[in-house]
Chains A and B, each alone.
Chain A
Amino acid sequence: MDITGHLDQSESVPRKKRRGISAWLTRNENARGFLLLSPTSVMVGLLLLLPITALIAISFMTQRGFELDTSFTFNNYLTFFNFSEKPIYYTLLGRSLQMSLTATLVTIVLCYPMAYFLAFHVKKHKVMWLIIITVPFWTSYLLRIFAWKVILGYDGVINSGLISIGLITEPLEFLLYNKMAVTITLAHAWIAFALLPIYVSLEKIDRSLLEAASDLGDSPWRRFWRVTFPLSLPGTISAALLVFIPTVGDYVTPQLVGGTEGIMIGNIIQTLFGKVNNAPLGAAVSLMTMLTVTLVVCLFLGGTTVARKLMSRV
């Protein structure tokens, strides 16, 4: 009964009799796909594309007290690039990029051996290992950052520990409120994000390739650099991007552990939209940040593509 019903609907009924949206949808596969995608697309349009457009529009306006002067101006961008008076914006952007890149590098260097260990040395309970490693990542971001303040602080864990075993008499002050503190804290906060892609790409490597390299006389070290590492590059690259992109705009970590030396561009954006109440300038700084991040990512991806081509020739 059901079978004939289905045939009736789709094949034996002449086209003219079935009109309207449902008939059109039954025939048109693309339209069904689009209809299914439409709620999500509308959401992204309203919450991402429209806001970014508004951000671009407002970056060409001027804030006057609580009013917004909508006449077109480049002044916000000129302020951003003001080389002579206060080079604060692009200097901070440069510093943020540098700190994020360092944090990314540290994260990758910390994660790679662990991912390698998981992929090649752990034989049993891999799922359990992965859960154990990713679970701390799901605890409160703010409190994890705060924990580093407790560790590195004046009367924190490291200082108290060193004093109690008699290695130092005065607390070390260089631990907290600097770039290094921000780098360590960021690396710790984003470690799970970097570990998983590297692990997945290592896990996927065909083990017979490694055997082949050994059989053909490569030492383990040479085999790693000629086979394992190049094959794990895709995961390592996505790990780098997953850490780099969000950390550039972070303002929590710099504010809690960075002190004045560790301030990043996110802090400035936050202040411009908050206390200073200059949304247009904030918008311009935000857009320049986004543009620079995109540019760095493109350069990085381009660079690694070239590097991989060169490596494959060797």
Chain B
Amino acid sequence: MAAVAAKPGLPFKISPLGAYAAFFLVFIYGPVLLLPLFSFSDSQYVALPITGFTTQWYEQMFQADQLQGALFNSLKVATVTSIVATALAMMAALALTRYRVPGRSVISGTIILPLVIPGIILGVSILVVMVQVLGVTPSLWSVGAGHLLICTPFGMLILISRLEGFDRSLEEASLDLGETRFVTFFRVTLPLALPGVVASILTTFTLSFDEFILAFFLAGVEPTLPVYIWSQLRFPQRLPSVLALGSIILVVSFAVIAFAEWYRRRDVATGAKPV
């Protein structure tokens, strides 16, 4: 097993496990890659065989007002949610890594709780408070609130691992040299934690942008993109333009997430060295 003389370009020996890895990649990518494939099919129905190539669904997509409205709604919600969630996550992560707060395990456990409760329960419980208790009509704000609840723990976990990863004596040095905690945060902690902050914003943005279970209950009359896609799945003739949009989102998400992962891991790899 040790020191397998792999051919250049082949990082692994072809073994049963290697073959399994290939199968695994086909399994996870196969269904995902069907979407762009069918978005170029000239048939209205998403079914085989594919008879011809067309880009008309992409052209149609740019004329669909509802679709663009939903896309814009999702972008609004995801932008606000990712920034607020990351700010909240940053404060919580700082408190949990830098201070000895009594009952910290209970508090951090409660913040992470939304990750271990089925989303539908979170959705209906917020809906009950809004509609039955407060008498407010669901809107994009309620979607954002719901997303905040699930995005904050994600951001917090990312930021905690980042804040634990770098040398704390830098902050102590700044404090000892007379900077206030506030200035220390902006001049020392934040720049050092920046890869984590970027990763948190990008991850929570993507999470909110794609979230459907909560949004379905909380969106009211302003659909986010997943809610709009859900409504279109019932009308086969409108599907191709949804697939076109899905393909574009797929490519953009690929790029954003790959960049975020690469950025975070690259910096952890170099930043973890003692200064």
Query: Do A and B assemble together?
Result: yes
Chain A interface (Cβ < 8 Å from any Cβ of B): 1-3, 5-6, 29-30, 32-34, 36-37, 39-41, 43-44, 47-52, 54-55, 58, 68, 110, 113-114, 116-117, 120-125, 127, 130-136, 138-144, 146-148, 150-151, 153, 155-157, 160-161, 164, 188, 191-192, 241, 245-246, 248-252, 256, 266, 269-270, 273, 279, 282-283, 286-287, 289-290, 293, 297
With beta carbons under 8 angstroms apart, the residue of B20, B100, B132, B178 that contacts A29 is: B100
A180 to chain B, nearest CB (A): 15
Residues from chain B with a CB closer than 8 A to the CB of A134 are 257, 261
**Contacts beyond the supplied A110-B27, A138-B253, A143-B250: 9 A-B pairs with Cβ under 8 Å:** A36-B92, A40-B152, A43-B148, A117-B17, A136-B28, A140-B250, A141-B210, A188-B27, A249-B120
22 contacts between A and B (CB under 8 A): A3-B177, A33-B101, A37-B101, A44-B149, A50-B129, A54-B129, A58-B132, A114-B24, A116-B17, A127-B261, A127-B265, A133-B25, A136-B28, A138-B206, A144-B31, A155-B47, A157-B34, A188-B27, A191-B28, A245-B118, A266-B118, A286-B125
Give per-residue flags for B20-57: 1 if the beta carbon is below 8 A from chain A beta carbons, else 0: 11001101111110110010000000111100000000
A286 close to B120 (CB less than 8 A): yes
Residues from chain B with a CB closer than 8 A to the CB of A286 are 120-121, 124-125
Interface size class of B (residues with CB under 8 A): 35 or more
A150 close to B34 (CB less than 8 A): yes
B75 to chain A, nearest CB (A): 14
In the bound complex, CA of A279 to CA of B126 (Å):
12
A147 close to B34 (CB less than 8 A): yes
B28 close to A133 (CB less than 8 A): yes
A55 close to B128 (CB less than 8 A): yes
A225 to chain B, nearest CB (A): 17
Residues from chain B with a CB closer than 8 A to the CB of A188 are 27-28, 31
Q: Which 5 A-B pairs have the closest CB atoms?
A: A249-B118, A33-B99, A2-B178, A51-B125, A160-B48
With beta carbons under 8 angstroms apart, the residue of A40, A116, A131, A132 that contacts B92 is: A40
Residues from chain A with a CB closer than 8 A to the CB of B258 are 131, 135
B125 close to A37 (CB less than 8 A): no
- Which residues of B103-137 have CB atoms within 8 Å of chain A's CB atoms? 104, 107, 110-111, 113-114, 116-122, 124-129, 131-133
Residues from chain A with a CB closer than 8 A to the CB of B94 are 36
B187 to chain A, nearest CB (A): 13
B125 close to A54 (CB less than 8 A): yes
Please tell me if B170 contacts chain A, counting CB pairs below 8 Å. no
B257 to chain A, nearest CB (A): 5
* In the complex, residue of chain A having the shortest beta-carbon distance to the beta carbon of B131: A279
Please tell me if B145 contacts chain A, counting CB pairs below 8 Å. yes
B99 close to A29 (CB less than 8 A): yes
Report if A147-B128 is in contact (Cβ < 8 Å); known contacts: A130-B261, A160-B47: no
With beta carbons under 8 angstroms apart, the residue of B113, B177, B179, B265 that contacts A48 is: B113
With beta carbons under 8 angstroms apart, the residue of A43, A54, A147 that contacts B149 is: A43
A273 close to B217 (CB less than 8 A): yes
A44 close to B110 (CB less than 8 A): yes
In the bound complex, CA of A151 to CA of B178 (Å):
64
Report if A140-B12 is in contact (Cβ < 8 Å); known contacts: A41-B107, A114-B24, A135-B258: no
With beta carbons under 8 angstroms apart, the residue of B206, B216, B246 that contacts A143 is: B246
In the bound complex, CA of A287 to CA of B249 (Å):
35
Residues from chain A with a CB closer than 8 A to the CB of B15 are 121
In the bound complex, CA of A24 to CA of B257 (Å):
43
Residues from chain A with a CB closer than 8 A to the CB of B29 are 136
Residues from chain B with a CB closer than 8 A to the CB of A1 are 178
With beta carbons under 8 angstroms apart, the residue of A2, A121, A248, A252 that contacts B118 is: A248
In the bound complex, CA of A3 to CA of B230 (Å):
61
A117 close to B20 (CB less than 8 A): yes
Residues from chain A with a CB closer than 8 A to the CB of B49 are 160, 164
- Which residues of B226-275 have CB atoms within 8 Å of chain A's CB atoms? 226, 229-230, 233, 242-243, 246, 249-250, 253-254, 257-258, 261-262, 265
B120 close to A138 (CB less than 8 A): no
Report if A156-B217 is in contact (Cβ < 8 Å); known contacts: A40-B111, A43-B88: no
In the bound complex, CA of A2 to CA of B174 (Å):
10
In the bound complex, CA of A136 to CA of B226 (Å):
16
B25 to chain A, nearest CB (A): 7
Give per-residue flags for B73-116: 1 if the beta carbon is below 8 A from chain A beta carbons, else 0: 00000000000000011011011101111101001001101101
With beta carbons under 8 angstroms apart, the residue of A29, A123, A153 that contacts B47 is: A153
A37 close to B91 (CB less than 8 A): yes
In the bound complex, CA of A120 to CA of B12 (Å):
11
A142 close to B229 (CB less than 8 A): yes
Please tell me if B165 contacts chain A, counting CB pairs below 8 Å. no
B36 to chain A, nearest CB (A): 10
A121 close to B18 (CB less than 8 A): yes
In the bound complex, CA of A116 to CA of B31 (Å):
24
In the bound complex, CA of A138 to CA of B131 (Å):
31
A252 close to B213 (CB less than 8 A): yes
Please tell me if B154 contacts chain A, counting CB pairs below 8 Å. no
B24 close to A110 (CB less than 8 A): yes
A283 close to B124 (CB less than 8 A): yes
